[in-house]
A and B are shown apart, each in its own frame.
Chain A
Amino acid sequence: MRVSGWGRTSWAEVTEVPIVAGVPTAWPRAGVPRGLGRSYGDAAQIDGGAVLVPSAPVPEPSWRGAGTVRVHAGTSIDELLRWSVPQGWFVPVSPGTRFVTVGGAIAADVHGKNHHRDGSFCAHVRRMRVATPGEGTVVARPGDDVFRATAGGMGLTGVVLDADVRMLRIATSWMAVGTRRVDGIDDMLACLAEADGRNRYSVAWIDLLARGASLGRGVVSAGDHATVADLDAARRADPLAYAPRVRAGVPDAVPGFVLNRPVGRAFNEAWFRRAPRRRDGELVGIAPFFHPLDALRDWNRLYGRRGFLQHQFVLPDGREGTLRHVVERLADGGAPGMLGVLKRFGPAGEGLLSFPRTGWTLAADLADGPEARALLDSLDEMVVQAGGRTYLAKDARMRPRHLPSMYPKLTEWRRIADRLDPDRRLTSDLDRRLGLRGSHRGR
């Protein structure tokens, strides 16, 4: 069967190998775990090989003591939230879509709007079971080699079977949100940094088509879980109500011109003008706050047949000059980025290949094409020179030479990965393209 990443840029012919009773029915010679296929590039596929998939039905989560849930790796964040929110618990970290599996969230060590405060997903995993080709099923806890290599390890150390995740207590299923419209990049950075001090969650949407004096203009949104006292009488009747809906999808064949530069400019202008200059205490549901794109099923098809590149990098603190330069390049670029997402990261976690580290992170969608790829190549150079890195779970096109400088713990990770999978059965198109596992020792 043919599969691709969410960006639909590269495709692979694969066979599905189900994971039954904690092990793959057979370790294929070349395979990689695949959950819901939300990584944008080629991380969860291997052309001519196998994808290791959870076998349905996935068992329900269960509590292991107060606030810690044991959840099967094939469970999606969506399923977990539908189960936990009515009980008054929220996932410790939620990425921009709830249609990722827990296994995928660990493999990419995903982050959310609360990274500045709570770190990435794996910071809240207390224990996980990992099926490995070399050492069988291993129980891994924070600090263990297996844990540090599997957190953010892109599925190349084994198949996560289940995980114990520390959840977050919530009183309501509502978010109390503040919004600020900012006219330029300096204001935006200051506003975000300030919001981080006050709010558990913060993010900024940045207009990547605005230039000149408006460069880096956007909307900063920050919030916290609302308390019952924040709710009006109607909402108090059922403060933990949670029933997110997904609207009908996008057809498979959208013409390429739907998202072009003039359309993007008009859209961004309208969106910027619509945002209030300043608003506080607005009540917003969990789904629109955390997962706005999930409202439209198959939105990735909006970019048409050629697909799109989602690019995300992080720059260390003190490199705001580079950040401004990158935003300029995107704004000037022949390949239009539409809306970017800007956020401050807190300190890195223990995952050896985890993406987040202290600094500024920017994510942007670009319609795929040679211009877009050339632009991103030049951004990689700037990011590497500034001591930053590109996010592997989103990457579809990076050059392998940047890998060691972006991920300085690569050598240590390779050593552990080779121990867990000595025959290198776990491989992906991402691994092949970037040489993540390293040279194949004469093979």
Chain B
Amino acid sequence: MALGIVTRLRPPRGAALGTRLAAGGAVLITLLIAIILLSLSTGPLDIPVSHVVSIIVEPTGLHLADYNHTEEMVVERIRLPRIVVGALVGMALGVAGATMQALFRNPLADPGTIGVASGGAAAAVISIATGASSLFFLALPLFALCGAIGTAFLVYAIAIASGRFSVATLILAGVAVSAFMGALITLVIIAEPEQGTLRGILFWLAGGLDSRSWDHVWLSGPLILLGGGVIVAFARDLNLLMMGEDDARSMGVNVRVVRPMLLTAASLITGVAVAVSGMIAFVGLIVPHMLRLVFGPDNRVLIPLSALGGAVFVVLADEIARTVISPAELRVGIITSFIGAPFFLFLLLRHSRRVSSL
């Protein structure tokens, strides 16, 4: 797969931070641009890449090739917003996954570890079942976002209820709340008499980027960039937190401020991602892992590259979802799991000694 190329281009492990970041960034940005162009040109209407490029650069005044109005509409109104949402969601999940793994010093942590994803999903499912999702435009993502953020606060409140914050309590509370939300979702599905509504729920749960518009971009983009930016700025603090709380504090990290802030940022961007795309599994778990194998555990490299890697992964998975059984579509969440799980296992077996490196 695409990231396999990165493995072959591995810079020496001892290479300086900037070198690793630049090498990884260059490869991933090139890949992302290539996949975006491919994705913009393929679909029910085949649009030549030259036309696609021309449509994109048109606002700058450059005119490269002639294209018709339909092509412009398809690229600008349908495919581009969908791809941008996909890239943003991938960024959010990649960054949130890497952050949670570092914060919890646990390679199995993912963006959903503290229950954010299942909380968002439960709120979305309930809003679909009750019809609240069609009350107004963007009602569904807003409900999902509220559910995600509400759940994050609930889990955090449980974790600090004992008087002293502990990571173990936080994870366990997240697991418990996730299980509860999962049961809630199952209950709603079983109790739903309407076939159409039921299908809508299952559709949403499988995660998808179909018919995402620029409104979804404006809803999710600023929050994801904000949350991601905060995490990038605190990447060095994450490194120190991986040494344990005492070590981090003795080296000058204000753990009591930094950790809740990073948790909030990671939860926020996860919630936003879930709100605009449903449940897209596996991205937050495997993207940081793959990149860690190549570039090492330093979060100052890993976090930015996870953003790019997540974007590449989700956009590519969506491209496959759109085209593999064309004209029908698969759900992107199914593709990420179908491709991600075997590839992850392949890496796991090949690097079994180093996957645990966290």
User: Is B one of A's binding partners?
Assistant: no
Binding site for B on A (CB under 8 A): none
The chain B residues found within 8 Å of chain A, CB to CB, are none
